[in-house]
Each structure stands twice: as structure tokens, then as C-alpha cells.
Amino acid sequence: MSDEDIERVFSHLDKSKTGFLTYNEFCGILTDKYKKQTPARPADAPDALPEDIEQKIQANLKRQNEENRRRKE
């Protein structure tokens, strides 16, 4: 991910605009993935990440998992 992508993600998640993620902002990231299991979200939790950022994160995770698997072989 580019520095710009990382800045977009952080800006999106830092709803309080403090330069830090609050506990509720961080938990909002997690509960967004499990909305059906945990419908109650804190009021200051961020919305879902933009789709293009989510795709980049997933691609990076997949690439990292493949590299880890190759190292074990």
C-alpha cells in the first residue's frame, strides 16, 4: 500500500481526528467485519473501509501468507 493509501485508511478510521485511534474506533474496525454476529457498534466507530483499500489489504495479506508458507517449505 502506498503512503497515500495508509493516510486514507487512518483518516477514515480516526473519526475523532485526534491523530490516534480510540478504543471504540479500533473496535469498530473489528465489528465491521462481524456485523451479523455483533450488531451493536459504538456511536463513534468508523464506517467500513473504502472498497479499494479493503482489496489492497486483502491482497497484501494473501501475499504475506504465501511468502510465509514458502519460507516454511
Q: In whole numbers, what is the pLDDT of the chain averaged over residues?
A: 76
**pLDDT score of 59 more than 80:** yes
How far apart are the two ends of the chain, measured CA to CA in Å? 27
Which DSSP symbol is given to 4? H
Task: Render pLDDT for 1-24 as a digit per residue (tens, 0 to 9).
Answer: 788 888 888 888 888 888 888 887
Tallying the residues shown for the chain, one arrives at: 73
pLDDT for residue 36? 47
Predicted TM-score of the model (pTM): 0.45
* Rounded Cα distance, 26 and 22, in Å: 6
